[in-house]
């Protein structure tokens, strides 16, 4: 999702009662004198936070949609790990047609690959596309290396995308990046160039931090890096709530809260304050580009999408009226149809 701190834009969740059971837990640390939590400790803490988030009171039922949940319809993907250049292991999932046109789906800040459930369970997409998702470093089931240096340089994110493409053997895939993943894709294009991909779909993506400094959801998401667990849970829920113009079901919302909580607050903080030096690269980019954006987005304002489209030569746009930060969830039928058409066109 997006971000807001030190000149950045932010993203995330809904109000709920915090569970204090984990508040007194002392963190384990890495090597003596390092003062840094070990990777094992950070992973354990992320799992405990996720459990606490799930046990917190859900939002009122009137605020959530009724009906079947896409979570229950999820299919089992092919699972693997990709090793990035710095040794970070990335959890990779493959769905759909193994011989289909390859698409790499990249989630946002504090999210996980499950945000793409409405794409990977779509019969039309699964029949024609090889859908490859992965958890960003520090997120979901991927490694969670400590330290700011593991999250600030553009190269680490660029190398992660390159590693996933290489590990899966995807030939010139289309990249689809939501929110913070707009930066991740731009990092990849800036560091490694566009030759190994067929096209790029920026989805409510952060590509210009200054334009997003006044995003309405920014103050809410700032609490996601608070030092205490109760505030983290409340603000994650509040942020996620602000992201939707069309509410998910209760099971879907609870699933999102749980996978958000798998990203420790320390890692969220380490991701903040990154620059967005992409304009020169965008202006020179010769690649099919689709910019998708919900006009009711409170996390990444539509002006950012308009900037992206105006800066990249030949970029196509698709703006969604009455849709918030998650067009791929709030209007999945339209999003999926447009994604399939874009992939077919980009692959020529």
Handedness of CA 167, 255, 252, 200 (dihedral sign): negative
Closest CA relative to residue 118, chosen from 14, 256, 239, 221? 256
Residue 184 has pLDDT above 80, yes or no: yes
Length of the chain: 348
Closest CA relative to residue 197, chosen from 102, 305, 67, 109? 102
Q: What's the mean pLDDT in 45-55?
A: 45
State what percent of residues in the chain have pLDDT above 70.
79
pTM value surpassing 0.85:
no
Are 243 and 325 spatial neighbours (Cβ–Cβ below 8 Å)?
yes
SS3 call for 42: helix
Please give the C-alpha separations between residue 119 and each of 71, 129, 273, 312, in angstroms, as whole numbers: 12, 10, 31, 26
Confidence of residue 73 (pLDDT cuts 50, 70, 90): low
State pLDDT tens for residues 9-33: 333 333 333 333 222 333 344 444 4
Angle at 346 between CA 343 and CA 348, to 5 degrees: 110
How far apart CA 140 and CA 258 sit, in angstroms, is 10
State pLDDT tens for residues 301-322: 999 999 999 999 999 999 999 9
How high is the pLDDT of residue 223? 87
Residue 245 has pLDDT above 80, yes or no: yes
Confidence of residue 3 (pLDDT cuts 50, 70, 90): very low
How high is the pLDDT of residue 7? 33
DSSP notation for 204-256: S----TGGGTT-TTHHHHHGGG-SSHHHHHHHHHHHHHHH-SS--BHHHHHHH
Residue 228 has pLDDT above 70, yes or no: yes
Identify the residue whose tokens are 């989630």: 107
SS3 call for 305: helix
Q: Are strands 129-134 and 199-203 parallel, antiparallel or unpaired?
A: unpaired
How high is the pLDDT of residue 22? 28
How high is the pLDDT of residue 348? 81
State pLDDT tens for residues 194-219: 999 999 999 999 999 888 887 888 88
Residue 99 burial (CB count, 10 A): 8
Residue 247 has pLDDT above 60, yes or no: yes
How high is the pLDDT of residue 74? 63
- Higher-scoring residue by pLDDT: 268, 32: 268
Highest-scoring range by mean pLDDT, 2-16, 34-48, 295-309: 295-309
> What are the extents of the domains in the chain?
20-347
- 20-347 is classed CATH 3.40.50.1820: yes
How far apart CA 344 and CA 340 sit, in angstroms, is 6
Closest CA relative to residue 205, chosen from 120, 309, 337, 321? 309
Which H/E stretch holds residue 95? strand 89-96
Residue 335 burial (CB count, 10 A): 24
- Higher-scoring residue by pLDDT: 203, 48: 203
């Amino acid at each position: 999702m997006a971000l807001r701190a030190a000149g950045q834009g932010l993203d995330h969740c809904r109000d709920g009662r915090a569970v204090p059971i984990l508040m007194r837990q002392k963190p384990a640390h890495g090597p003596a004198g390092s003062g840094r939590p070990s990777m094992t400790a950070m992973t354990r803490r992320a799992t405990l936070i996720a459990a606490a988030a799930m046990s917190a009171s859900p939002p009122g039922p009137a605020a959530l949609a009724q009906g079947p949940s896409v979570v229950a319809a999820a299919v089992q993907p092919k699972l693997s790990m990709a090793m990035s250049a710095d040794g970070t292991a990335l959890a990779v999932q493959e769905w759909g047609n193994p011989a289909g046109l390859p698409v790499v789906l990249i989630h946002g800040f504090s999210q996980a690959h499950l945000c793409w459930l409405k794409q990977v369970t779509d019969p039309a997409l699964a029949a024609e596309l090889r859908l490859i998702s992965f958890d960003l470093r520090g997120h979901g089931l991927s490694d969670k290396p400590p330290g700011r240096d593991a999250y600030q340089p553009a190269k680490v994110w660029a190398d992660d995308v390159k590693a996933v493409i290489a590990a899966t053997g995807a030939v010139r895939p289309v990249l689809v990046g939501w929110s913070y993943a707009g930066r991740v894709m731009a990092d990849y294009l800036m560091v490694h160039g566009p030759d190994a991909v067929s096209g790029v779909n920026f989805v409510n993506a952060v590509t210009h931090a200054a334009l997003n400094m006044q995003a309405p959801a920014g103050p809410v998401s700032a609490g996601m890096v608070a030092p205490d667990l109760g505030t983290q849970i409340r603000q994650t829920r509040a942020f996620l709530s602000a992201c939707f113009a069309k509410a998910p079901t209760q099971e879907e919302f609870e699933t999102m809260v749980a996978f958000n909580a798998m990203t420790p607050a320390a890692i969220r903080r380490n991701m903040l304050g990154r620059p967005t030096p992409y304009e020169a690269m965008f202006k020179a980019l010769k690649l099919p580009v689709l910019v998708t954006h919900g006009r009711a987005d409170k996390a990444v304002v539509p002006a950012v999408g308009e900037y992206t489209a105006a800066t990249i030569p030949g970029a196509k746009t698709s703006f969604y009226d009455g849709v918030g930060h998650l067009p791929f969830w709030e209007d999945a039928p339209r999003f999926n149809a447009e994604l399939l058409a874009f992939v077919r066109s980009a692959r020529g």
